[in-house]
Amino acid sequence: MTLTIGLIGLGAMGGGMAQSLRRKGFDLRVFDVRKEVADAFVKDGGAACASLAELGAQCDVVVSVVVNAAQTESVLFGDVANNGTGGVASTMKPGSVFVMCSTVDPNVSIAFEARLAALSLLYIDAPISGGAARAASGEMTMMTAATPEAYAKVGEVLEAMAAKVYRLGDKAGAGSKVKVINQLLAGVHIAAAAEAMALGLREGVDAAALYEVITHSAGNSWMFENRMAHVLAADYTPLSTVDIFVKDLGIVLDMARATKFPLPLSSTAHQMFMQASTAGFAKEDDSAVIKIFPGIELPKKKP
C-alpha cells in the first residue's frame, strides 16, 4: 500500500523532515500557516493543502511539527489560522496515524492519544532532536512510543525522517519523557557553555582561543561546540530560540514538581533563559543567553 503523508509545520525541523520524505519518494502533502512557505516548498515536489481539514482528508499519516502543546491541540481539533476550517482530526480516516513531534508535557501526549483513540485514530508520541541540518539529511533522532498497530503502519515513514528511531513503549508518554530529559541536558549545557565563555571574556581570554582549547578538551560538550560558535560569529539568527528553552525547561520543572523531585541545575538554567527573554532576547538564538552576563564585551560580526 502506498501511503499518502501529510506534514504540518515547515519550520527549521519540519521543513527538513518534509525534504527527507520527498527525497524518499513518498506521496507528500504539506500545510503551513504561512502559505508562501508551503507554496515555495512544493515547487520541488509534493502538494500544498489549503487547510488542515483538507490535509487530514487526503492523508494516511499526518506528521505534526509545531512548536508546543497548544499549537498541537489546534492542529488536531481546530482554532488555528487555517481559513476557518477545523483541525485534522475531524477529517482523518479511521485507522489513520497522527505523529506528534513537539516537545510537550508527557501527560498532554497521553491525553492526545486517548482523544484520538476515541475517534478510531492511531497516535505516535514522537518528539525529535538533532537540529535543522540533521532533519534535512534524515539523520535526526526520534524518541517514540506507540501501540504495535501504529508502528506497523508507519515504521518506514519514521525511518525516512530519522537515522535513529527509538521505540520506548507501547503507549504514549515514554517518548515525551525521554525528550524532556534530553531538553534538561540541552538547556543546562547551553547555560553552562554561556557561563564559561562569559567568564573567559570577563577575564580577558581571547574568545577564539578559548573555543579552540575547550573543543579539544574534556570540558567540551556538543552544545558548547555548536552554540559558542554562534557567539564567536556574533550570529544570533534563531535556529532554536531563547523562548524555546523557557518553554522546555518549564516542562522539565513541571514534570519533576509533580513528584517533588529536585532539579537545582535545571531551575537555575531556566531562570537564566527567563532573564534573557525578558531582557529582549526572546526570539534570538538560544546562545543569546550569554547576553545576560554583565561587564563583558561579546565578539562582534566581522566586516
Residues classed as catalytic: 179
In the block, which residue shows the cell 567568564?
Answer: 199
The SS3 of residue 185 is helix
Closest by CA position to 15, among listed 65, 80, 67, 68: 65
Contact 258, 241 (CB under 8 A): no
As a three-state string, the secondary structure of 72-96 is: HHHHHHCCCCCCCCCCHHHCCCCCC
Host H or E run for residue 5: strand 4-8
**In sequence order, which ranges of the chain are alpha helices (DSSP H)?**
12-23, 35-41, 52-58, 69-77, 106-117, 132-137, 148-161, 174-202, 207-214, 222-232, 242-257, 264-276
What residues have CB less than 8 Å from 62, skipping those under 6 apart?
5, 6, 7, 8, 55, 56, 88, 92, 96, 97, 98, 99
Cα separations (Å) of 249 from 74, 132, 204, 240? 22, 20, 31, 13
The SS3 of residue 32 is coil
Ramachandran angles phi, psi of 145, nearest 5°: -150, 135
Chain-centre distance for alpha carbon 10: 12
Q: How many CB atoms lie within 10 A of CB 10?
A: 24
In whole angstroms, give the CA distance from residue 125 to residue 104: 10
Grid cell digits, residue 111: 491525553
